[in-house]
Amino acid sequence: DFPPEDRGYHNYDEVVAELGAAVADHPDIATLTSAGTSHEGRDIPVLKISDNAGQDEAEPEVLFDCNQHAREHLTTEMCLRIVERFTDGYATDPAIAEMVDSRELWVIPVVNPDGSIHDVASGQYLGWRKNRQGPGTDLNRNWGHKWGCCGGSSGNPNAETYRGTEPWSAPETAALRDFIDSRVVGGEQQIEAAIDFHTYSELVLWPFGYTTDQVTEGMTQEQYDRFERVGTEMARTNGYTPQQASGLYITDGGSLDWMWAEHGILAFTFEMYPAQGGGLEGFYPPDEVIAEETARNDEAVDVLIREAGV
Ligand code: 0X9
Ligand code: CA
Ligand code: CA
Ligand code: CA
Ligand code: ZN
């Protein structure tokens, strides 16, 4: 488990318990399902938040996913913050109620349960990034748009950015793909916007990651400008640096490229706190920072939820 001094972080079982409690406390506005199972057979829980949550209503949908990378535990806390704010805040905060009533929010706090558990199992942080399939696949190199195209991933199974044997070879990415595909209703993708949370570097990133070109096949100038406008607006609220994902380095098989190219989802990757971390240490900020560093993204989350209606 997490070391004693970091017990403010939620392990997988605690996340599942929190989600169960959110649904028990707010059955009208929250439902819990599973996107599928991990390599080791654990559920990948999906919490939906909306008025009449049990019904699929004609409301813009927004997806938040966290912890594709095992060691990026602060992101799981970010997803839990979103759950807490939009469920507990519903009865008392009119702005929250407005968003919950007019949107359908999907929150996936632990995309990579096996890796996340493995990273803390010994009581000492391992710095584990990948899933637990063989030597491990980097889930954020295993998505199906231009998989392995461009030097932004590795074909070496022992590498930290191993892309897997083929697109979707990891059950975790296949589960997310199936979930997102399932939100195509009447030929239209219902999810309009998404944030995939990572750590660290304090960045707001948008597609594409596989090329440094701004305008290319599947991205017009107008579309790019919208990403830049919304990304810059979100970054103004949290103090992160906004840029195209490939400005960091080239990645292929990343989630946001597929979400945008395949489904037209206004998809962002956030790299959370800290801005700089001296290698592995940056992945393990003390639990004392959780409250501040997750609340820091409240406004950006709201900006995107509102943008999804436009
Ligand atoms: O390399 C990654 O997957 C992300 N950085 S991290 O330090 N969290 O590993 C950045 C990904 C940005 N690009 C895409 N999502 N395409
Ligand atoms: Ca502590
Ligand atoms: Ca609703
Ligand atoms: Ca709907
Ligand atoms: Zn990451």
Instruction: Flag whether the ipTM exceeds 0.90.
Output: yes
Q: In the chain, what's the furthest Cα-to-Cα distance?
A: 52
Mean pLDDT, residues 37-43:
99
Q: Which two tokens stand for residue 223?
A: 């579309």
Which atom of ligand 1 is nearest to 208's Cα?
Answer: 16
Work out the percent of the chain whose per-residue pLDDT is above 90: 99
Q: Is residue 143's pLDDT more than 90?
A: yes
The whole-number pLDDT of residue 309 equals 87
Long-range contacts of 126-131 (CB under 8 A, 24+ apart): 126/71, 127/71, 127/280, 127/283, 128/70, 128/71, 129/69, 129/70, 129/71, 129/160, 130/69, 130/70, 130/160, 130/162, 131/38, 131/39, 131/70, 131/170, 131/172
Residues 27, 186: Cα–Cα separation, whole Å: 27
Mutate to test the pocket of ligand 1, among 260, 271, 284 (most ligand atoms within 8 A of CB): 271
The whole-number pLDDT of residue 58 equals 98
Q: Is residue 194's pLDDT more than 90?
A: yes
Annotated active-site residue 271? The verdict is: yes
Kindly report the pTM of this predicted structure.
0.98
What is the per-residue pLDDT across 249-301, written as a single tens digit (0 to 9) for each?
999 999 999 999 999 999 999 999 999 998 999 999 999 999 999 999 999 99
What is the per-residue pLDDT across 43-83, written as a single tens digit (0 to 9) for each?
999 999 999 999 999 999 999 999 999 999 999 999 999 99
**Residue 167: CB within 6 Å of ligand 1?**
no
Give 86's contacts (C-beta < 8 A, 6+ positions apart). Answer: 29, 49, 96, 99, 100, 105
Q: Is residue 310's pLDDT more than 90?
A: no
Q: Read off the DSSP letter of residue 210.
A: S
SS3 206: strand
Give 140's contacts (C-beta < 8 A, 6+ positions apart). Answer: 68, 69, 196, 198, 251, 253, 254, 255
**Residue 244: CB within 6 Å of ligand 1?**
no
**Residue 238: CB within 6 Å of ligand 1?**
no
- Going from the C-alpha of 153 to that of each of 79, 136, 299, 309, the distances in angstroms are 26, 13, 33, 34
